[in-house]
Structure 1
Amino acid sequence: GGDRVLLLYASQTGQAEAIARRIQGMSLGHNLKPDLRCVSSFDDSFKDLQTETCIVVIVSTTDDGLVPEKARRFLRSLRKAPDLFLSGLRYAILGLGDTNYSNFCNGSRILEARFEALGAERFYETGCADDAVGLELVVEPWIEGLWQALRDCLGSVMAVTGKSQHIVPPLGAPAVEGLTKCCLPSSVELTLPQLKEPTVMVEFTKEPPVEHAWQGGSSLPFQDSDVVEATLISARMLTSSDAVRETWELTFQLPSEAKIDFKPGDSFGFLCPNRNSDVQELMAQIGCTGSTCSISLSPGKPSKGFEHLPKNLCDLKWVLKTCCDLRGVPKKVFLRVLADHASDEKDRRRLLELSSREGAKDYANFVLESRTSLFSILTAFPSCKPSVAVLLEHLPRLMPRYYSVCNWEPTQGQGSHNFKIIYKMCPFSTPKGTKEQGLCTGWLTSLAEDVTNSKSLVKEMENLRLAQSEQRKCVVPVYLRRNVSFRFPELLDFPIIMIGPGSGVAPFLSYLQWRREAMRAPRPERHDGETWLFTGCRHRRLDFLYEAELELLVRDGTLSNLVVAFSRDPEFKETKEDPLTTLMSEHSCDLQGSEKCALEMVSSGAEQAKLDIDCSLRSAIGDSKPNVWLHAGRYVQDCLRTCSSDVARLLRKQGAVVYVCGDARGMATGVRDALVDILVREGDAASVADALTSLKAMQKEGRYLQDVWT
């Protein structure tokens, strides 16, 4: 009929699906008949898609710029479809992405290009929401404008029901400083998010709670094994005690019955609980004194999105501790609901402002950019006392935290074995002016201190290990996450460029340990490709992770070249000169004959001389260690430029695979820019645009892989 609309979603972590379900609920208030489906539900014939006239698609983008895994069969089938296959279909697309990654919202662009090629017509401007600054900055206005576009598309008059409920009468109230200050004139009417009927119901009881599995036993994102209890058997601090940020290495033992085999590049998901103090503070803020409760869903309401909540009798503190993300930034619709639970009119008005279309700028400034949590909201608006059911309805699911494996053991598949992770402590400032640790890193560090059985010694000693008999047994729930998009080649003849500063070195350590064992195995023909590792830290003495291990890997031939950046080390002078020129100038006293002549040519600007510098020069630069370059630049991207001729040679002649692991905000973008510069400088690309095209081609070929995070 003329009121039917097909809602499709292609979700990687659940955000696209959540937005699609929200649009589904709002559609009912606009007299629409929405049909919600995942794109994976279509068969290859697409017969049912051909009968549709109007569709809305919400699609996310993976880290490597592709559509989500569940959408790839859908996309392959579209590519096989004949011309004008979708003529007569009108569509709208909302893309979700992150500008910290190189292919922002590319998933939506891929789908849109295919729709247009098949004759479909776009009826509403495509939205591109950026998770780096907050999806809601684009999602909210895009949804608000969708309804008029749908009315025009369907050619029917869709009544906007309940409009009076979305217009708030002006409130004359004095302004309050900070987050609570009303910034809009009292005469402004507010356009608010539409609310749906509540789904979650909570009833308190005096009966004893029933023990439940983690998050009701629901499936977890990227879960490639059962959840098992891993035993923390050792912990050591890798950085010096006076380093700016501590970095820890933890070793866990998997149970023998688990039979979990991991590969380099894989990670483990840690089921990290909220802090007891956070749970107690939240319950105190809302005035909740209950303990055992029964959680249920309203009859006839979809259970999708609430699978993580245990049903029947349970301990409320346990639910808040293990199921709900208490530290996330509240969405606008959550603030809209909180306003209805504020007894003070000033509090209510300001919460409505922050959730309104007119208050979008304030929401961005005071909530999104400030990373304001529910705790801060309830503190700023003390009259707001939401019910437990409201919290469980709107608090997002507590998600696992993932850490790359940084070791490899040849005994895998032969009973119990160990895995290691490393992580960096990143304290953040709270609205109260105090410093707090991240939820999972703080939790892991407290466990590490428990295992070593002496917090004072952990703080004072750089490497403390206790015999297992002296340790208190500490187990954590974990599961395997296979990283199929960051897989290392099993053949040794592939040249590899690895880029991972700080804790980003973890998967490369795992791979190099595997590679060492593989190189020792007898082979009929031996032709090993070059392996380059670009890594870095602030200060060589304070936080150069695994320096001895990496140098040993170079000495035994597993790693061909190690190139290191030090960004804050006073022993290495700062300069604005070309990094290669500076590097060689610092070591010119070590050079003889032709090498010194080559240095003079580089210093005078002869670019071709860079190609004439051989391994003897690298040895001299490397602090008398073969193929180890120390301080080849301030950051890893500078190191790449220093070694531009070698990088270009590996990419051009040998088809090297590039792996990037670490921070997405600055490092990964800087590495991409450096690779672009290298391709242009070394004559492999005529322009920046050509270089970017080459990098995109490498991504499609699986030769430019990233495992980055924000």
Structure 2
Amino acid sequence: MPTQVDLIPEDAPFPNEQREWLNGLIAALAGWEGSLGGAEQGGGEAKESFPWHDPGMDINERMELAEGKPHARQLMAAMAQLDCGQCGYLCKTYAEAIAFEGEDLNRCVPGAKETERKLKELVAEHQADKPAVEAEPKLEPKPKKKGPLGTRDNPYMARLKSSTPLNADGSTKDTRHVEIDLGDSGIEYEAGDSMGIFPENDPRTVDAILADIDASGGEKVKAPSGENRLLRQVLLKEVDITKPSDEVIALLADSAGDAEEAEDLRLLAERGAEEGQSLLELLRVYPSARPDVQKLVDELGPLQPRLYSIASSSRKHPNEIHTTVAVVKTAVYGRGYKGVASTFLAKRLSRNGEVPVYIQRSDEFRVNADPDHPAIMIGPGTGIAPFIAFLQEREARGDSGRNWLFFGNPESAKDHIYREQLESWRDSGLISRLTLAFSRDQEDKVYVQNRMREQAREFWAWLEAGAVIYICGDAERMAKDVDAALHDIVAEQGGLSEAEAGRYVETLSAEHRYLRDVY
């Protein structure tokens, strides 16, 4: 195993996560690849490129690009490529933590089961390729030191101040403006950061599971944290009961008293649970499958934190964090599904109720330090959240640079969230241009990328004047479509070839003038 290179001492005045990031950055610049605990060290060679590090790529395409690469790089390609921090790492450092430190394989929240299954496959193949004499025992994750208050491993118990509906009656969406009271914690954040929360499972679902497995909930079990806790509390706060892992399904198969149910469960364990198929559903579909409660807890994956873009500036709200939450409630293949974190934060948590929160810092997605720079902000739906923070920040700083906001949602009459605030900022001049795209207000659906193309000439003029483009929202569809529109505008308005337009956009990224916070 390569030697860990720590250039920033542990007693330096930085949070643990920031210190680790700085170590990695400095080491990478010095040519010490692997300083974050992973790859072999090189002798000052050129910076490694990661062509698969694109959240818009399909996982199969990413794996093809990583073919023949070292084990840690293949693991990285299986990640969701968002560098969102929900796993406690970046994609690269999480992959290295798995490869060299035995980290858990189920921490990539946006990658979900697809990433988890691919990681298991890669780890198994890597172990199988090793000669028997080189067989290594399973690595145990290194214990992590408790960080400062307000970090992932030391969250602050904040209180819910308010959860205000933003959509009008009759909307197909339920979006909330959520305000969290930080009290006198002293926790600091910047516009562009995200707030991580540790949610709780729905207590009604937990009670239904307990009833189905004939448990009271008062049984003492060893929790994933290693402590002895009551079963109900573990199911409520510590394990994921909405997305059963292959190991959980295999355990149900082994415990099934009915041979046909056992066979069906074994087949399901091989292909994985379907989207929206929860533990409760499996227990009810296969009533003879009743595992030992401790074994069940051991196999259930940990309940992972969720991240929400911060919708406030600490210059205006130093003791609060605001965010925008889309309450997830949908049907998947006929199954009712509620988002664990969104329903907890926006609906189940009572006023003044406690929620563990932490700050996931962003080193890239920041308001430009130049007060005169023009800013183009593109954030449909809940993607508007960080731009509420950015505009508050620029207003508080007294920046003179122009701001152009693109916002979209289904219907203007029901889904024009933050309308009064945005129009007030437009009237005051803080927002120079407010471009709206309500997709279902007309027969042909119109999205923010369509509005970009309609105003291509002005968009190009802003770019040539030094504008910074900020994008926040869905990575799979919106961000890809906006990126395509940007390339088309650059090619058309700049009179450039496709390749030249590509290089122009790459230069924007290199100069930190094209920044994305996508998920």
TM range, smaller chain: 0.7 to 0.9
**Cα distance, 1:529–1:277 mapped onto 2, change above 3 Å:** same
For 2:374 and 2:68, the matched residues in 1 are separated by 36
Match of 1:302 in 2: none
For 2:67 and 2:222, the matched residues in 1 are separated by 40
SS of the counterpart of 2:356? Answer: strand
Residue 668 of structure 1 and its aligned partner are, at CA, apart by 1.0
For 1:656 and 1:221, the matched residues in 2 are separated by 36
Q: How does 1:204-603 map onto structure 2 within 5 Å?
A: 223=151, 227-255=155-183, 257-289=184-216, 291-293=218-220, 295=222, 306=224, 309-312=225-228, 314-330=229-245, 332-356=246-270, 363=271, 367-368=273-274, 370-408=275-313, 410=315, 417-429=319-331, 433=334, 435-447=336-348, 451=351, 473-519=352-398, 528-570=400-442, 574=444
**Cα distance, 1:529–1:258 mapped onto 2, change above 3 Å:** same
For 2:139 and 2:403, the matched residues in 1 are separated by 58
Are the counterparts in 1 of residues 180 and 322 from structure 2 also a CA contact under 8 Å? yes
SS of the counterpart of 2:367? Answer: coil
Match of 1:20 in 2: none
Are the counterparts in 2 of residues 99 and 132 from structure 1 also a CA contact under 8 Å? no
For 1:512 and 1:125, the matched residues in 2 are separated by 38
Normalising by structure 1, what TM-score?
A: 0.57
**Cα distance, 1:351–1:690 mapped onto 2, change above 3 Å:** farther
Residue 516 of structure 1 and its aligned partner are, at CA, apart by 1.5
Are the counterparts in 1 of residues 194 and 359 from structure 2 also a CA contact under 8 Å? yes
Q: How does 1:88-107 map onto structure 2 within 5 Å?
A: 99-100=55-56
For 1:550 and 1:77, the matched residues in 2 are separated by 45
SS of the counterpart of 2:366? Answer: coil
- Stretches of structure 2 lacking an aligned partner (at least 5 in a row): 8-19, 35-39, 44-49, 80-110
Residues 396-419 of structure 1: CA deviation (Å, up to 9, x unaligned): 211222222222354555xxx333
Residue 380 of structure 1 and its aligned partner are, at CA, apart by 2.6
Residues 239-295 of structure 1: CA deviation (Å, up to 9, x unaligned): 11111112221233321x211232211222222111211222222333333514152
Are the counterparts in 2 of residues 662 and 668 from structure 1 also a CA contact under 8 Å? yes
Matched, 1:658 2:499: no
For 1:339 and 1:279, the matched residues in 2 are separated by 21
Q: How does 1:101-180 map onto structure 2 within 5 Å?
A: 126=74, 128-129=77-78, 131=111, 134-136=114-116, 138-147=118-127, 149-151=129-131
For 1:145 and 1:225, the matched residues in 2 are separated by 31
Residue 518 of structure 1 and its aligned partner are, at CA, apart by 1.8
**One-letter amino acid matched to 1:380:** V
Residue 141 of structure 1 and its aligned partner are, at CA, apart by 4.5
For 2:388 and 2:261, the matched residues in 1 are separated by 53
Q: When the two structures are aligned, how many residues end up with a matched partner?
A: 462
**Cα distance, 1:344–1:103 mapped onto 2, change above 3 Å:** closer
Are the counterparts in 2 of residues 40 and 74 from structure 1 also a CA contact under 8 Å? no
**One-letter amino acid matched to 2:362:** N
**One-letter amino acid matched to 1:535:** F
Q: Which has the larger radius of gyration?
A: 1
Residues 4-60 of structure 1: CA deviation (Å, up to 9, x unaligned): xx5xxxxxxxxxxxxxxxxxxxxxxxxxxxxxxxx782468xxxxxxxxxxxxxxxx
Residue 146 of structure 1 and its aligned partner are, at CA, apart by 3.5
For 2:291 and 2:140, the matched residues in 1 are separated by 13
**Cα distance, 1:123–1:133 mapped onto 2, change above 3 Å:** closer
Match of 1:41 in 2: 4
**Residue in structure 1 matching 2:457, options 633, 645, 663:** 645
For 2:205 and 2:52, the matched residues in 1 are separated by 31
For 1:375 and 1:96, the matched residues in 2 are separated by 36
**One-letter amino acid matched to 2:472:** C
Residue 502 of structure 1 and its aligned partner are, at CA, apart by 1.5
**One-letter amino acid matched to 2:345:** L
Are the counterparts in 2 of residues 343 and 384 from structure 1 also a CA contact under 8 Å? yes
Match of 1:699 in 2: 509
Are the counterparts in 2 of residues 95 and 107 from structure 1 also a CA contact under 8 Å? no
Name the stretch that deviates more: 333-342 or 243-252. Answer: 333-342
**Cα distance, 1:684–1:144 mapped onto 2, change above 3 Å:** farther
Residues 632-680 of structure 1: CA deviation (Å, up to 9, x unaligned): x8101111111212222333x2332211111122111111111111122
**One-letter amino acid matched to 2:227:** K
For 1:159 and 1:40, the matched residues in 2 are separated by 21
Are the counterparts in 2 of residues 269 and 479 from structure 1 also a CA contact under 8 Å? yes
For 1:134 and 1:353, the matched residues in 2 are separated by 17
Residue 510 of structure 1 and its aligned partner are, at CA, apart by 1.3
- Stretches of structure 1 lacking an aligned partner (at least 5 in a row): 1-5, 7-38, 45-66, 88-93, 114-121, 161-194, 200-215, 297-305, 357-362, 452-472, 521-527, 575-632
**Cα distance, 1:670–1:475 mapped onto 2, change above 3 Å:** same
**Cα distance, 1:247–1:354 mapped onto 2, change above 3 Å:** closer
**Cα distance, 1:708–1:289 mapped onto 2, change above 3 Å:** same
For 1:144 and 1:491, the matched residues in 2 are separated by 50
**One-letter amino acid matched to 1:476:** V
**Cα distance, 1:106–1:352 mapped onto 2, change above 3 Å:** closer
**One-letter amino acid matched to 2:78:** A
Residues 112-137 of structure 1: CA deviation (Å, up to 9, x unaligned): 88xxxxxxxx6999574363771255
**Cα distance, 1:238–1:388 mapped onto 2, change above 3 Å:** same
Are the counterparts in 2 of residues 268 and 479 from structure 1 also a CA contact under 8 Å? yes
For 1:700 and 1:198, the matched residues in 2 are separated by 38
Residues 578-616 of structure 1: CA deviation (Å, up to 9, x unaligned): xxxxxxxxxxxxxxxxxxxxxxxxxxxxxxxxxxxxxxx
Identity of aligned residues (%): 26
SS of the counterpart of 1:230? Answer: strand
Residue 568 of structure 1 and its aligned partner are, at CA, apart by 0.3
**One-letter amino acid matched to 1:244:** T
SS of the counterpart of 2:159? Answer: strand
Residues 53-80 of structure 1: CA deviation (Å, up to 9, x unaligned): xxxxxxxxxxxxxx98875455444468
For 2:243 and 2:138, the matched residues in 1 are separated by 22
**Cα distance, 1:692–1:137 mapped onto 2, change above 3 Å:** farther
Are the counterparts in 1 of residues 59 and 78 from structure 2 also a CA contact under 8 Å? no
For 1:68 and 1:329, the matched residues in 2 are separated by 33
**One-letter amino acid matched to 1:645:** R
